[in-house]
Structure 1
Amino acid sequence: MWKCSPWTFFPILYSLFTAAGLWVVWDGYKDPPYISNAGDAPPASCVFSQVMNMAAFGGFILGVLRYLQLKQCPCGNVGSLLVISLACIGMTLVGNFQ
């Protein structure tokens, strides 16, 4: 059998846990968890902001791991790390702005 690192499953787990966290926020609404609905109601806004913070942190870790994986190819690697960092900062701003 072939061996694989546990880090191989991190992108899949990241997607599943982010979707599950948003599903928990969606549980109290009839509509899907739009930012305006989930970020405004007091109990759901706390859960929504924590889900967004954890998703941003996980996305940043994924971006850094991908940067380290492609360190030998400098063509667009630094630019992609910068873009994922800005996207994660934006995700935390969106999650915590009520």
Structure 2
Amino acid sequence: MSEIDIEAAERRELEARARLLATLHELQAKLNLKALTRQLSRRVADAGESAARTGVDAARRNPAPLAGAAAIGLAFLARHRIAGLFRRKHDHSAKDDEHA
């Protein structure tokens, strides 16, 4: 091998090493835990925002199912009070029967 060939090979080796180090740094940056966490939180936030926007649009187009679901939800939350109203009415009518 001539001296020119050796110098060219050394130059190619230095360039390949520089490319390899650059790729390594890119991979380290992509695999950085903080960067991954930020990227994931952005994606989750974007997906949540998109889902919320879709839900709001659907509710605007057809509000009846939303109103029905809200009524069912409220009735579920107030189920004990509602049941108490029926029990009290039943208890009062039983007491009235006893006194008569």
Q: The TM-score by the shorter chain falls in which range?
A: 0.3 to 0.5
Tell me the TM-score normalised to structure 2 length: 0.34
Which structure has more relative contact order (CA 8 Å, sep 6+)? It is 1
With the length of structure 1 as denominator, give the TM-score of the two structures: 0.35
Which structure has the bigger radius of gyration? 2
**Which is helix-richer, 1 or 2?**
2
